[in-house]
Amino acid sequence: MQFITKYFKNLKKKIDELIKFLSQFETPVKIIKSAPEKKDAGKSSSEQSSKDNIKKVFIFGLPKSGKSTLLASIIKYIDSGSESTLRRDPLNNAQSVALMRKLIQSFYSNKFPPPSDKNCINLILSYEKYKKEKVKVKRKVEVKNSQQKPKPMNKIVKAINDLQIFDTVQKEYKPEFKEVEEEIEKEYLANYKFDFCEVSGEELKKFDFVETSGSSLDIKIKNFFESSDCLIITAPVKGSSLKDLEFLRDYIEYLIRTGYKKPILFIFTKIDLIDSKSHKEIEKSKNLYRGIEKLLNSHFKNSIKYSKFTVGSVKENITKNRDTGRVKKSYTIEENQSDRYIPEILNFLEKLY
Ligand SMILES: Nc1nc2c(ncn2[C@@H]2O[C@H](COP(=O)(O)OP(=O)(O)O)[C@@H](O)[C@H]2O)c(=O)[nH]1
Ligand SMILES: [Mg+2]
C-alpha cells in the first residue's frame, strides 16, 4: 500500500511538471531574428587590416603626357560607374576634394584639366565597391550511419521523453561527421584608398641629373617616391620630342640604378592620335619606345605591365586674335571614351591590396 501511495505521489509530481511545461505554450511565441550576416564576413585578415591603408602611387610622365587627364578619367569612372562609390573626405582631405571638384567640372564640360603650377599635386582617391572572393571553407558533413536517424520529435513528445514517465525513451542517435573542404563565393565591401602624386614638369626635370647637376629634388617628393607602392609612367604615342625620350630613358636608368622594386604600369597615352588601322603609324610609334621597352623588360621583367589610354576623340579649336593676328590652338574632348581603359588600370592598382 505504501508502495502504491509513493508511486502515485511520484506520478502526480511528474504530471505537475508536465502541466507546468505545457502551460508555457500558451504564451505568445517570440520570433528572434538572427543578425544579418555581415557583408565583409568573408574578408581575410589582410584585407581587414588594409582597410585604412593608403597606397602611394607615383606618377611619372613628361609635361603634357596626359597625367592629369588620366587622373580625371579615373575619378570620372569611379564617380559615374555603377560598381564603385567615390568617397570624399573634405574634413581630412580638403585640398584633394577641391582638386577633384575642379577635375570633374572641367571634364564634364569636355575640357581638359588645367595645368598645375605646384611642384606636386597630391590627390587622395578613395572608393569602395563590392567584390566577390572565392574562399575555402571547412564544413562538417554527416557520414551515412547504420543507425537510423530518429524522426524529429515534436516538443510535447520530447517533454514526455525527458520526464521519463514512460519507457518510450528513444535510443540516443549518435551521428558521425567528416570534415570536407569546399570553395564558396563570398561578397564583401572592399575599401580602396590611393594617394596619387603627380609631379609638375619643372620638378620632374630635377630627376635629370645630367642637366641640372646640383639641383635636388624636393624632399617631400623624394620621400614619396621612395616610399611609393607603385609607379605609373605615362608615355604619349605621338608628339614626344627626342629630348623628352632621352629624359625618359635616363629616368628608367635611374630606376634601375636605385633598384626600384615596386610594380610598374607603363601606359601608352593619347592612342587616339594614331590610326589603329595604319600599320605604318603603329610601327612608327612603337619605334619611339623600342629602346625604353627593351630596357624595362630586361630589368623589370616580373614587375612591369603595359596598358594604353586615350580620353577619346579630341577636337582642335583654332582661334585668331583680331588685334595681333596670332593663331591660338586649344583642344576639347569631342567624345569621352576614357571609361574603356580605366578598368585595366584600376585592376593593376587594386592588386596592391
Ligand atoms: N589627343 C589627345 N590629347 C590628349 C589626351 N590627353 C591629354 N591630351 C592633351 O594633352 C594636354 C596635356 O594633358 P595633361 O593631362 O594636362 O598632361 P600632364 O601635363 O601630363 O598632366 C591636354 O591639355 C590635351 O590637349 C588624349 O587622350 N588624347
Ligand atoms: Mg598635369
Q: Is 238 in the pocket of ligand 1 (CB under 6 A)?
A: no
pLDDT tens by residue, 62-114: 889 999 999 999 999 999 989 999 999 999 899 999 999 999 899 989 999 98
DSSP string, 105-125: HHHHTTBPPPP--SSEEEEEE
Domain 52-131+188-350 maps to which CATH number in 3.40.50.150, 2.60.40.60, 3.40.50.2300, 3.40.50.300?
3.40.50.300
* CA separation for the pair 55, 64 (Å, rounded): 25
Report how far ligand 1's centroid is from the alpha carbon of 207 (Å). 22
Please tell me what DSSP assigns to residue 39: G
Kindly report the protein residue whose alpha carbon is nearest to atom 11 of ligand 1. 64
Q: Is 68 in the pocket of ligand 1 (CB under 6 A)?
A: yes
* CA separation for the pair 178, 181 (Å, rounded): 10
Kindly report the protein residue whose alpha carbon is nearest to atom 3 of ligand 1. 270
* Amino acid at the residue 80: S
Q: Mean per-residue pLDDT for 35-56?
A: 52
CB-neighbour burial class of residue 318 (10 A; exposed 0-12, middle 13-18, buried 19+): exposed
What SS3 state is found at 231?
Answer: strand
* CA separation for the pair 21, 8 (Å, rounded): 20
* CA separation for the pair 156, 213 (Å, rounded): 92
Confidence class for position 275, pLDDT limits 50, 70, 90: very high
- Cα distances (angstroms) measured from residue 165 to each of 21, 24, 73, 168, 285: 14, 20, 78, 8, 93
**Average pLDDT of the chain?**
84
Kindly report the protein residue whose alpha carbon is nearest to atom 4 of ligand 1. 270
| Predicted confidence (pLDDT) at residue 48 exceeds the cutoff of 50 | no
Report how far ligand 1's centroid is from the alpha carbon of 76 (Å). 16
| Predicted confidence (pLDDT) at residue 196 exceeds the cutoff of 80 | yes
The domain limits of the chain are 52-131+188-350
Ligand 2 is an ion; its neighbours by CB within 5 Å are: 67-68
